[in-house]
């Protein structure tokens, strides 16, 4: 099969691309590094032509809610238009548990994206998950402010991006099936603790500042509303196991 994967070099996207290639599928990566900006969509229809599914795993890095909402709105609309022009019959989306219930900050963007995907003429599948273990890595990689690593105060139930990628590929290989059962990690963690442990593991010694994020999503992060409901499917790899498996700091 052929899959067009937006964000195909991102935290979850690169796992999907690797898995798909290993399974013998053809992959087309869509990102600015690969010459396509989803906000402008020049050449997008041509890039996704012939794909059995588009797997949308792009994400903005800005902290501005206005820019986040603009990113997810434009990218989802541009993809829907290109899919209709190219005759692509399956759009696979990845969202976050709680995005539509607590639509502020990043989650406002995800809620806008969900709305466009689920009302598009392209048949779709959507998986909602909790945060990735890699969220801690992304937070540290974003750098420091006044010498501090910054983490949101957040009760999380993280899972490995690699486990999410396995699910996404299975979904893309099948027929469109709407909203998938949610997927979450095996246990609750505290995000500032995850960020601190990741930073120490890669030899970064800066102090950590945990901050209360604004809005309904910020409150939900703090009060545990973003944890998975009790009956939610869970993966098995814990944050500690993920951390100890990381190649980049093995042997340090
Ligand atoms: N991280 C989490 O904890 C988490 C949890 C649940 C769901 N999700 C969802 O998973 C998806 C992927 O997230 P991630 O954390 O894996 O992302 P990520 O590591 O931040 O990677 C983002 C990707 O998007 C691409 N991108 C950014 N702006 C673009 C643009 N204007 N045009 C084209 N490509 C663009 C980037 O490549 P370029 O910079 O080269 O453009 C990169 O490949 C998102 O939908 C996110 O909401 C994430």
Check residue 129 and give its pLDDT.
98
Mean pLDDT of all residues in 141-165: 97
pLDDT class of 145 with cuts at 50, 70, 90: very high
Determine the distance separating the centroid of ligand 1 and the alpha carbon of 164, expressed in angstroms.
Answer: 14
Q: What percentage of the chain has pLDDT greater than the value 70?
A: 98
Q: Is the CB of 218 under 6 A from ligand 1?
A: no
* Region at 215 (left for phi over 0; alpha for psi -120 to 50; beta for the rest): left
Residue 252: what pLDDT? 47
Q: Is the pLDDT of residue 59 over 50?
A: yes
Residue 250 clears pLDDT 70, i.e. is over it: no
CB-ligand 1 contact for 44 (6 Å cutoff): no
Pocket test for ligand 1, best of 10, 158, 195 (most atoms within 8 A of CB): 10
Q: Which residues of 113-136 are buried (b: 16+ CB within 10 A; e: fewer)?
A: bbebbeebebebbbbbbbbbbbbb
Answer for the pair 122, 76: CB distance below 8 angstroms, yes or no: no
Does the Cβ of 113 fall within 6 Å of ligand 1?
no
Closest CA to 148 of 218, 199, 190, 189: 199
The residue whose CA is least distant from atom 26 of ligand 1 is 58
Cα–Cα distance between 165 and 60 in angstroms, integer?
Answer: 19
Query: Does the pLDDT at position 237 exceed 70?
Result: yes
Is the CB of residue 7 below 6 angstroms from any atom belonging to ligand 1?
Answer: yes
- Please tell me if the CB atom of residue 132 comes closer than 6 angstroms to any atom of ligand 1: yes
The answer, yes or no, to whether any atom of ligand 1 lies below 6 A from the CB of 94, is yes
Q: What's the Cα-to-Cα distance from 97 to each of 22, 73, 122, 154, rounded to whole Å?
A: 29, 19, 23, 14
């Amino acid at each position: 099969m052929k899959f067009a994967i937006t964000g195909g070099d991102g935290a979850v996207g690169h796992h999907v691309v690797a898995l798909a290639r290993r399974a013998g599928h053809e992959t087309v990566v869509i990102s600015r590094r690969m010459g396509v900006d989803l906000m402008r969509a020049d050449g997008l229809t041509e890039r996704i032509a012939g794909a059995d599914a588009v797997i949308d795993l792009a994400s903005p890095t800005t902290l501005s809610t206005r820019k986040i909402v603009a990113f997810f709105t434009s990218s989802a609309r541009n993809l829907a238009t290109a899919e209709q022009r190219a005759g692509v019959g399956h759009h696979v989306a990845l969202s976050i548990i709680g995005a539509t219930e607590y639509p502020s900050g990043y989650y406002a963007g995800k809620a806008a994206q969900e709305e466009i995907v689920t009302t598009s003429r392209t048949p779709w599948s959507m998986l909602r998950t909790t945060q990735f273990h890699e969220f801690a890595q992304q937070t540290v990689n974003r750098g420091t402010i006044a010498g501090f690593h910054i983490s949101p105060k957040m009760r999380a139930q993280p899972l490995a991006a690699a486990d999410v990628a396995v699910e996404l590929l299975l979904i893309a290989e099948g027929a469109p099936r709407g909203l998938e059962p949610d997927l979450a990690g095996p246990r609750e963690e505290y995000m500032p603790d995850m960020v601190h442990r990741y930073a120490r593991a890669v030899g970064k010694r800066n102090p950590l500042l945990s901050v209360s994020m604004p809005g309904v999503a910020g409150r939900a992060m703090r009060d545990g509303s973003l944890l998975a409901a009790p009956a939610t499917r869970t993966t098995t790899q814990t944050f500690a196991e993920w951390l100890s498996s990381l190649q980049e700091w093995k042997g340090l």
